[in-house]
Structure 1
Amino acid sequence: MSERVELEKTLSPANIWAIALGTIIGFGCFILPSDLMAKSGPIGAAIGIVVGGLIMLVIAKSYGFMVKELPVAGGEFAYAYTAFGRNHAYLCGWFLTLGYLSIVPLNATALAILAKFIAPGLFEQGFLYTMAGYDVYMGEIMLASAAILIFGFFNFKGVKDVGKVQLIMVGLLVGSVLLIGGGTAISSKTAVANMFPAFALDKGMVASILAIVAISPWMYVGFDTIPQAAEEYDFPPEKSFSLIFWAIFFGALMYVIVLLSTAVVYPWTELVAANHIWATGTAMETILGKAGVFFLVTAVCMGIFTGINGFFMATSRLVFGMARAKILPKWFVYVHPEHKTPSNAIMFVGIMALLAPWFGRQAIVWVVDMAALGTTFGYMYTCFGAYVFGKASTSITAKEKGSVKAWGIVGGLFSFAFLLLLCVPGSPGFMATPSWIALVGWVALGIIFYLAKTKEYNKLSTAELDYLILGREKPVSE
């Protein structure tokens, strides 16, 4: 049998924390406040964000345990394999691949939306066609493609560069948001009264809060990229949960700061009704002038860039981990001899991401909506997997077993509830029809891919897969 290809250990705790926070906070943090207020009111949305973060921390407990026990590339793919077997591993990995992969071009195409506010018409050049009601311009495609190529290059050059660049960008992101929050707090043009009524006009307190909790898996997606880089930790994997905790904490804090900074400028019902191109941008310009817009644009750009950078890394590691198990072509396992990165997997992510902007942003949004299902699968497999793994483990105490099983079952039930919110008609998170069509297409493609590789995949013994996926002792004979 072939030797197991491994990745180099170069990432520091600061790098990993920056990757997690940078993937949690993206374009949505700065564009969604008016939508969140319309859905739940300022206070209702803020409470929903915090409650959603607390639920994510429950789920994250299982991630911390599984990363500690199985610090390998592939993350949830490896956890699903360990607890439930090879077929569940493929199912989990296939959905996660789409979830991670689609977020790269989603962030890249967000640059065009930002440009509409700060430089109207600059990139709306070279009209090509209309796709799903969205006008596609060559200028906007080139803008998105440039961002994808730049961060693809960083990922190709080495994961150490990815970590350094991410840390710098996250520093700028956090600093800009804190300046926005501080400037809003001391401005004489703001008023707490503008945040009332506290909840949505068409629903009560509980319904307002739950409407935001329902979308929290999408808002906090990104902390789960930490396991994908576990094989490249240059520190003990036991630190993973604390890094996830602080990433989610700062993520929630930043969401709330931007939301409330927008809400206190004008009566929020008037702000929502005015239907501004960018409500948060308008609010910051009103109270902080050009400086406020500068800091906000800096924050948005950093949120977009850290999302592209982080999900480039996470997707390539997931694909690499699946290919190492021989469920994807061997080509994806190649590691560059100089840069020590899975260069072919990175190239694949880049090519797929470069194709996406040609379909228009609306089509990408449909795919991302559907991909929320994939990340929820990842949460569920990790939590229930922690329960199964903890129950069978002989390396932890009885007290630790009880804790792992409890966190696992509660986190798994939360994850299953999120799955129902996406799939049950009438629920707050029910996916739109185009997203269901995209889901059917992705499932069909997954079945075709699986049937093409299943003979080779199923021929591998459990000992061989344990070696390839988990890095356990290599079998003496084939």
Structure 2
Amino acid sequence: MNPNKPSISVWQGIALYVGAVVGSGILILPGITAGIAGANALIAWIGMILLSIPLAFTFAFLARTYPSAGGVATFVEKAFGTYAGAVIGWYYFIAAAVGQMIVPLTGGLSVMYALDLPLEAAYIIAGGTVLIAGLSNYVGLNISGKVQLAISGLTMCILLLTIVLAVPLIEPDNFEMQLSGSALSSIGVAGMLIFWSFFGWEAISSLAPEFKHPERDLVRATLGALIIVGVLYFGAAVAVIGTQAYTAGSGAEQEAANSASFIQVMVKTTGVHGGYATAVVALLICIGTTNAYVAGISRLGYSLAQSKVAPSWLDYRHGKYLTPTRAVVFVGAVALLGLVITYIFKVGLNTLIHIPNSLGIATYVLGAMAGAKLLRARFEKWMAAVTSTICLLAYPFVGAFIQIPIVVGVCCVAYVFWRKNRP
């Protein structure tokens, strides 16, 4: 879209917003969270949907008041200074770097389960997906925004189809909950994992200058997206739990099976061929999403280097392809190395997801605190304060990973200070 000519209507805004939030994470998280918390996982899904309301509206209010393509980083820098804005950039970069390992592994696990292949096959497929995305971005064959919207649409179709087909097989007894002390802890852990599938509520911020009527349509688009995403996500969780398409426990075998819960539902409802088809579609979704991850994070790295808040080695464009090839090679290498490490040390998806989650929650805390400082209307300030408070209260559930944003933030500030003051 042409940034100099506002062209986004409220319906287009809803589509773009839903496309930014609905990703491949929803294909694995209903099963993984059910494996951890059982039927109690529904409480975690409801909680995260409710948390999304003040979160999404806070960023919509900020985008309406301070329309900028810079998004959250711009708000935080405006509220707290250059160093805080740089920290947000580093948070995004590292969160996406880990995310680009999770997404292709999701596709690999889907194919592995559908075809009854060994675990090694999932990692080989994931590595191949990263290579395809890296090579296409190296030579400039990026997937267009329309194709990315189509991928999100395909994901939504899988969700809807799974929900509809699962209805006849849902058993009320599968929703029996047990609310004990340990159960509450598992609900909190499940909630932090679910957070991964809700990333993207800040995406509307960078699109604000392209809305025809941002003062009116930003909030409307946010409301529409909240309703669609909430219904789809809760429906998907109900389908998986109601048909018991998961295995209780958090071991490696249970997690691998639970990451393919949607395929289990499809096999139960349409037979083994339905499972094959779902696995192929899931892989295509993950290939497209990984391509977008590599494209976005490599350009973010290039942009951070240009702004002198990341190593200057990344500030390079290929003479022929005009792409940030060094950044593409770097993020691709990080993903491949990460896949090797996770395979050797048997690091599961439920552990990996906590890394970008910890950084994402920290980003939302800083963004909401910026809203509490910058927004003028009392209600908007209150909404931002509620968002930052809830995120802070939820933060301890990431466990030991709570240290990651602190370490990243200190490293970022130290690097930027050194870069500014070196001889």
Identity of aligned residues (%): 17
CA offset at residue 229 of structure 1? 5.4
For 1:58 and 1:387, how far apart are their aligned partners in 2?
12
2:237 pairs with one of 238, 251, 259: 259
For 2:405 and 2:272, how far apart are their aligned partners in 1?
43
Q: TM-score, normalised by structure 1?
A: 0.70
2:166 pairs with one of 184, 195, 205: 184
Matches within 5 A, 1:27-426: 27-42=24-39, 44-121=40-117, 124=120, 139-140=124-125, 142-149=127-134, 152=137, 156-157=140-141, 161-185=143-167, 187=168, 190-197=169-176, 199-200=177-178, 203=181, 210=188, 212-228=190-206, 233=210, 235-238=212-215, 239-266=217-244, 271-272=247-248, 275=254, 277=257, 278-290=260-272, 292-294=274-276, 296-297=278-279, 300-301=282-283, 303-305=285-287, 307-312=289-294, 314-316=296-298, 318-319=300-301, 322-323=304-305, 325-328=307-310, 349-350=331-332, 352-360=334-342, 368-391=353-376, 401-419=377-395, 421-422=396-397
Q: The residue matched to 1:222 in structure 2 has which SS? A: coil
For 2:341 and 2:14, how far apart are their aligned partners in 1?
33
Q: The residue matched to 1:117 in structure 2 has which SS? A: helix
For residues 352-396 of structure 1, give each alpha carbon's deviation from its aligned partner in whole angstroms, at most 9, with x where no partner exists.
Answer: 4454334335569555423322211211121111121124xxxxx
Q: The residue matched to 1:357 in structure 2 has which SS? A: helix
Q: The residue matched to 2:370 in structure 1 has which SS? A: helix
* Shift in alpha-carbon separation, 1:191–1:219, aligned structure 2, 3 A: closer
For 1:368 and 1:214, how far apart are their aligned partners in 2?
9
Q: Which residue identity is paired with 2:37?
A: S
* Shift in alpha-carbon separation, 1:339–1:8, aligned structure 2, 3 A: farther
1:446 aligns with 2:412: yes
Q: TM-score, normalised by structure 2?
A: 0.78
Assess if the C-alpha contact under 8 Å between 2:54 and 2:387 holds in 1: yes
Q: Could you list the runs of 5+ residues in structure 2 that have no partner in the other structure? A: none
More helix per residue: 1 or 2? 2
Assess if the C-alpha contact under 8 Å between 2:76 and 2:366 holds in 1: yes
For residues 47-68 of structure 1, give each alpha carbon's deviation from its aligned partner in whole angstroms, at most 9, with x where no partner exists.
Answer: 4312311212201212112223
Q: Which residue identity is paired with 2:200?
A: G
For residues 143-193 of structure 1, give each alpha carbon's deviation from its aligned partner in whole angstroms, at most 9, with x where no partner exists.
Answer: 232442366369x456xx5311112112222122212211222x3xx2433
CA offset at residue 258 of structure 1? 2.4
Assess if the C-alpha contact under 8 Å between 1:101 and 1:353 holds in 2: yes
* Shift in alpha-carbon separation, 1:272–1:175, aligned structure 2, 3 A: same
For 1:322 and 1:7, how far apart are their aligned partners in 2?
21
Q: The residue matched to 1:165 in structure 2 has which SS? A: helix
Equivalenced residues, count:
411
Assess if the C-alpha contact under 8 Å between 1:166 and 1:306 holds in 2: yes
Of 85-94 and 358-367, more deviation after overlay is shown by 358-367
Assess if the C-alpha contact under 8 Å between 1:369 and 1:431 holds in 2: no
For 2:354 and 2:365, how far apart are their aligned partners in 1?
18
Q: Could you list the runs of 5+ residues in structure 1 that have no partner in the other structure? A: 1-5, 126-135, 392-400, 423-428, 460-478
Q: The residue matched to 2:26 in structure 1 has which SS? A: helix
Structure label with greater radius of gyration = 1
Assess if the C-alpha contact under 8 Å between 1:58 and 1:410 holds in 2: yes
For residues 399-447 of structure 1, give each alpha carbon's deviation from its aligned partner in whole angstroms, at most 9, with x where no partner exists.
Answer: xx1122111111121222233x24xxxxxx3136xx85x6677456535
* Shift in alpha-carbon separation, 1:234–1:329, aligned structure 2, 3 A: farther
